[in-house]
Amino acid sequence: MNLESNLDDTIVAIATPTGRGGIGVVRLSGPEALQIAAPMLRLNHELVPGRAVFGELVETSSLAEVKASTLTRKVGETRMAQPAHVGTAAHGCPAEQNSAMQRIDEVVVTYFAKPHSYTTDDVIEISAHGSPVVLRHIVELCLANGARFAEPGEFTMRAFLNGRIDLTQAEAVRDLIDSQTLYQAKVAAQQLEGALSRRLQPIKQKLVELIAQLEAGIDFAEDDVSIMPDQAILDRILVIRAPLQQLHASFAYGKIVHEGLTLAIVGRPNVGKSSLFNRLVERERAIVTATPGTTRDLVSETVAIDGIPVKLVDTAGIRVALDEVESIGIQKSMEVLADADLVLVVLDASQTRTEEDNKLLRQVGERPAIVVMNKVDLKGNDKVGVEEIPTSGKTNQKGTPLSSVCTSALTGEGIAELRAEILRFVGGESGSTSEAGFLTNVRHQKLISDSLAALDAAKTAVAGKIPHEMLLLDLYGALRPLDAITGATTSDDILNLIFSTFCIGK
């Protein structure tokens, strides 16, 4: 797609999801949006930027007959015309022209004048009843008048190309649309407001200042611009690297916020896995009976725990299989255990720990896991105490000891504590949630990694007494990945900084 030439086109698309609904919206954007929309609309008032106007969607035997419309009047007039009377032409259109108009639907039209619109072009949004037939017809009328179909994401792409948003904000639009939980939506909204860009901007500024000072020392040495000593360069690199490393570390939490968490519930038969699953899902999703081995296949459901999407997977009881079907179910359980982000190992607190329990704990190994002592409501048996669970010495991927929670899936005892323990694994209590602008995107994480690697190479270059001309290659190598996140730093930016910071030529 030729980005430059296509910016002059006026594009159209249905902006609401496919299917029937109370309201559907067709969006037009481009220099000819007003003229293209004019023939199909009969409005009660003039269009004023930022104000919704009620009217009718009409069709004529000849579209050319109704090219004259208030849509082509001078933009910005605030005088409101009187509502058109039923059976007469709006905006002074002759009655013979109005007789050629056939009403299709009632509509509400909103006009956003350039540059105060999403794309920074003129934008017309036509809200009609959500009939797919009507919405498609509006698009067809726009195409007949000279618009073209918008390509996927083209409205947001124009917003980026026209400087309305940066790349992180453009990606946040997609994340906001794809949000499964309110917390995901809030995080995406923060990114859309530029939270990540604001966090990166001072880091980039310090890096650009360092580059500018080194460039000045090389290019304007005759003007008494001193060459920065090695220790000063290293100190500046450390100041740049520290917040960048913190941002990189935030991806562990941000990835879970963005993509969710897969949690496998495993254990031997009849320890209450399915009952625990139902408690976490808060409905009777899995079949529960007193017969061991009821669950033969995987049962999954996605729930939100404090805004984090968690995919719960109930598995078949792990034991020596009694038949082929159960064997297949147990094999699937082991596969889920290996792939899950977090494992709930369910033990029966009313019974002495069995060899099957011990074997399962060994199979979990160093995987991140929470040991759940279920059925604590049962009396009359020697319960396995939390202190007896063999978790000492084992750590999860974050290096923290494996934890244990006592629950009763029957009464609900300990379920709140279990949810809290899951959140602790996610990092919800680590402070990550309170800091805006953390990484949720794999692309961003890779670029931050590249920038850190280039800064490390620059440190090595300084230690090896490499000339500043070569050192600058590493520093520019650290800047380019940050530009790929927030937008490019041009050579003019660096030159302007040089001449505004130093007294060159005096």
* Helix orientation angle between 195-219 and 230-249, rounded to the nearest 10 degrees: 160
Where exactly are the structural domains of the chain? 3-161, 195-250+439-501, 259-432
Q: Which of 323, 320, 325 is nearest to 360 (CA)?
A: 320
What DSSP letter does each residue of 174-239 carry, written as one string? HHHHH--SHHHHHHHHHHHTTHHHHHHHHHHHHHHHHHHHHHHHHHTGGGTPPPPPHHHHHHHHHH
Dihedral sign computed on CA atoms, order 9, 149, 49, 117: negative
Q: Which of 165, 151, 123, 173 is nearest to 3 (CA)?
A: 151
The one-letter amino acid code at 231 reads: Q
Q: Which of 319, 371, 332, 334 is nearest to 349 (CA)?
A: 371
Contact 329, 338 (CB under 8 A): no
Reduced to 3 states (helix: H, G, I; strand: E, B; else coil), residue 52 is strand
What does pTM read for this prediction? 0.69
Report the alpha-carbon distance of residue 143 to residue 125 in Å, rounded: 15
- Residues 335-390 have pLDDT tens digits of 777 788 888 888 888 888 888 888 888 878 777 889 999 888 885 444 444 444 54
Contact 339, 333 (CB under 8 A): no
What local confidence, expressed as pLDDT, does residue 101 receive? 67
From its phi and psi, is residue 6 left (phi > 0), alpha (psi between -120 and 50) or beta?
alpha
Q: Which of 111, 113, 34 is nearest to 72 (CA)?
A: 34
Contact 103, 58 (CB under 8 A): yes
Class of domain 3-161: alpha beta
Is the peptide bond preceding residue 115 cis, with omega within 30 degrees of 0? yes
CA–CA distance from 315 to each of 114, 294, 349 (Å)? 56, 10, 19
For the chain, percent of residues with pLDDT exceeding 70: 73
The one-letter amino acid code at 372 reads: V
Assess whether pLDDT exceeds 80 at residue 13: yes
Q: Which of 96, 97, 95, 38 is nearest to 67 (CA)?
A: 38
| Range with the poorest average pLDDT among 20-34, 43-57, 377-391, 407-421 | 377-391
Spatial neighbors of 167 by CB under 8 A, at least 6 apart, are: 160, 484, 485, 486, 487
What DSSP letter does each residue of 449-485 carry, written as one string? HHHHHHHHHHHHHHHTT--HHHHHHHHHHHHHHHHHH
Superfamily of domain 259-432: P-loop containing nucleotide triphosphate hydrolases (3.40.50.300)
Q: Which CATH number fits domain 195-250+439-501: 1.20.120.430, 1.10.3720.10, 1.10.287.3510, 3.20.20.70?
A: 1.20.120.430
- Residues 406-438 have pLDDT tens digits of 988 888 889 999 998 888 888 754 444 445 678
What local confidence, expressed as pLDDT, does residue 299 receive? 79
Mean pLDDT calculated for residue range 235-241: 95
Reduced to 3 states (helix: H, G, I; strand: E, B; else coil), residue 419 is helix
More confident residue, 206 or 357: 206
